[in-house]
Amino acid sequence: MHQPLKTPSTLAAPDELFGHPKGLYVLFLTEMWERFSFYGMRALLVFYLTKHFLFGDQVALGIYGAYVALGYATPVIGGLIADRYLGQRVSVTFGAILMCLGHLGMAVEGAGAQVLENADGTSTIVRDEPALQIFYFSLALLIVGIGFLKPNIATIVSSLYPPEDPRRASAYTLFQMGIMLGAALSAGICGYLGETYGWAYGFGTAGIGMLVGLIVFLTGQKHLHGVAEPPPAYRKPLLGPITAAPVIYVGSLAAVGMFWFFVQQTTLVGYMLAAFSIAVVGYVLFVSFYQCTPVQRDRMLVLLAFQLAMTFFATLFEQAGGALNLFADRNVDRQFWGSEVRASQLQSIMPMTIVLLAPLFAWLWPALSRVGRDPRSPVKYGLTMVFMGLGFGLLAWATFAFDRDGQIDLAWLVSAYVLFGVADLLIVSVSYSTVTALSIPRIVGMMMGTSMLAISAANYLAAQVAAVVTVANKNADLSAYSMQDSLAAYHQLFFGLSVAAILFALALFAATPLMARRMHGVH
């Protein structure tokens, strides 16, 4: 017999640890290990494509951008499926299983690509096609798995608390720390293993992390006390006599096949994202002008402007996994205390910055608010762009003025990554709160989804921007490759991104009075 769903008010007080439900720590560890797997694999992905399969930069960045973009888009659908049919617990479990399978496939390295010289003086790159197709299929499994896991584990966090429980804010802060801790650890560990001992070791370690996360979630479900169980529709017939779960599982496998195709057709992904984004923005504008009061309309238009700012920020921030990763590999002297740091390991600097500085920012905003100095939301968005501009400006200056045989010192890149971490802390403090504060209540869930869509589109755009600096084909012998030319090209890219970020910041600062009026009391 179907048991009634439990609510947070039914939780036993003794089932707490350090003032929070024990279920929060189950979710903290599950998400930490899931992000460990995601960022560990992400740190290696571009290098795996350019060094193992010998793809040119443009193709490698296109595959990387399509994968990450789709990984941020599928949670919109995964959240809807969980709400209506599967429930959060089943969705997280199913997503984690798919991700474990995806990481297992990523560890199938296959033979490295070879460059064969032709009689006419040209060369042909021969790749291990079965291993390459397993790689694409693994990406598709990860994309669908992320869609089921990512939105629903965050939903369970809020379900552990009554609606007005003041502990919710600190719970999400702790949960976010788990995400950043997983990201910080993964790049250092998976990146080192993958670049030092072989790609299979790095990807395999990421997969072990996901498996640990799944085990933690399965063994800790008793501490969720039924708050994430499937709704009644889970057991009702959906397709003839067949209930929802089998239909969704089969449909998910079909989706894996679809995404297996899409990650190989990266241009098509761009067209799809563009069409979907235009449709969503068009719908929001229609609702704003025809179904809202004047105050609601003004707030919705400001929210759209913030979503545009989020897209721009993420386009800059997500250079980390693409252009900045390749730059670190080719044009940064990574010697540190007598040993060489792997380029992929540097991906841990930004999340570590966030982990270390998050307590400071958690104290700063309430302290400023108490004395009436808390900056308005448009100003925080503007400050985010300032720090992004400073980071890229620092790299542009270093690549121009401190060139040492086509390389710059490691400290420059580390400093830029720290600035980017501060920028992320600034925008996280305001991005989600503005959605709930400015959106009309009946579409607030959809507007949360558009935030994910903005990041999805930004990841695709980031790859296209990074492709400005490209190496057409990777050969076994790169002696003819000019590091000076590469450094000059990266200088132009960083300078352009810096100028764009500062101009965007100035536009936000200039528009702050107008946006503040249109927000009608929302800070």
pLDDT digits (tens, 9 = 90+) for 383-414: 999 999 999 999 999 999 888 888 999 999 99
196: Cβ–Cβ under 8 A, 6 or more apart, which residues?
342
Query: Which pLDDT value is given to residue 20?
Result: 77
Query: Which pLDDT value is given to residue 477?
Result: 44
Whether the per-residue pLDDT at 494 is higher than 70: the answer is: yes
Rounded to a whole number of angstroms, the CA Rg of the chain reads 23
One-character DSSP codes across 45-72: HHHIIIIIS---HHHHHHHHHHHHHHHH
Segment 291-299 long-range contacts (CB within 8 Å, at least 24 positions apart): 292/440, 295/520, 296/440, 298/517, 298/518, 298/519, 298/520, 299/438, 299/439, 299/440, 299/518, 299/519, 299/520, 299/522
354 in Cβ contact with 360 (< 8 Å): no
Whether the per-residue pLDDT at 227 is higher than 50: the answer is: yes
Which among 420, 401, 355 is positioned nearest to 176, based on CA atoms?
355
Instruction: Report how far residue 18's alpha carbon sits from residue 33's, in angstroms, rounded to the nearest whole number.
Output: 21
The class of domain 293-470+482-523 in CATH terms is mainly alpha
Whether the per-residue pLDDT at 170 is higher than 80: the answer is: no
Q: How many CB atoms lie within 10 A of CB 19?
A: 9
Mean pLDDT, residues 357-372 taken together? 84
Query: Which pLDDT value is given to residue 306?
Result: 94
One-character DSSP codes across 373-388: -PPPHHHHHHHHHHHH
389 in Cβ contact with 507 (< 8 Å): no
136 in Cβ contact with 264 (< 8 Å): yes
Instruction: Report how far residue 370's alpha carbon sits from residue 451's, in angstroms, rounded to the nearest whole number.
Output: 29
Task: Categorize the per-residue pLDDT at 508 as very low, low, confident or very high, splitting at 50, 70 and 90.
Answer: very high
Task: Tell me the residue ranges of DSSP E strands in 236-374.
Answer: 237-239, 242-243, 332-333, 335-336, 339-340
236 Rama class: left (phi>0) / alpha (psi -120 to 50) / beta: beta
Segment 499-503 long-range contacts (CB within 8 Å, at least 24 positions apart): 499/389, 500/312, 500/316, 500/389, 501/316, 501/385, 501/386, 501/388, 501/389, 501/392, 502/385, 502/386, 502/389, 502/393
Which among 65, 37, 60 is positioned nearest to 48, based on CA atoms?
60
Query: Which pLDDT value is given to residue 3?
Result: 45
Task: Categorize the per-residue pLDDT at 111 as very low, low, confident or very high, splitting at 50, 70 and 90.
Answer: confident
Which two tokens mark 60? 């490698």
Whether the per-residue pLDDT at 29 is higher than 80: the answer is: yes
**Average predicted confidence (pLDDT) for the chain:** 87
Phi, psi of 443 (to 5 degrees): -125, 20
343 in Cβ contact with 329 (< 8 Å): yes
Secondary structure (H, E, C), 91-106: HHHHHHHHHHHHHHHH
Query: Which pLDDT value is given to residue 331?
Result: 92
81 in Cβ contact with 248 (< 8 Å): yes
Q: Output 106 or 150, whichever has higher pLDDT.
A: 106
Q: Comparing 238-247, 370-379, 424-433, which segment has the lowest mean pLDDT? A: 424-433
Which among 365, 375, 374, 385 is positioned nearest to 427, based on CA atoms?
385
Mean pLDDT, residues 223-247 taken together? 84
Q: How many CB atoms lie within 10 A of CB 254?
A: 11
The class of domain 19-116+125-264 in CATH terms is mainly alpha
Q: Considering the chain, tell me which residue range(s) the CATH 1.20.1250.20 domain(s) occupy.
A: 19-116+125-264, 293-470+482-523
What does the pLDDT look like over 174-214, one tens digit per residue?
888 888 899 999 989 999 999 999 999 999 999 999 999 99
Query: Which pLDDT value is given to residue 476?
Result: 40
Mean pLDDT, residues 106-134 taken together? 88
Task: Tell me the residue ranges of DSSP E strands in 84-166.
Answer: 114-117, 123-126
Which two tokens mark 341? 């740091």
Instruction: Report how far residue 220's alpha carbon sits from residue 194's, in angstroms, rounded to the nearest whole number.
Output: 31
Q: Comparing 27-31, 221-225, 245-249, 254-258, which segment has the lowest mean pLDDT? A: 221-225
Query: Which pLDDT value is given to residue 522?
Result: 84
Query: Which pLDDT value is given to residue 235?
Result: 84
285 in Cβ contact with 126 (< 8 Å): no
Please, which residues bridge with residue 336 across strands? 339
Query: Which pLDDT value is given to residue 363?
Result: 84
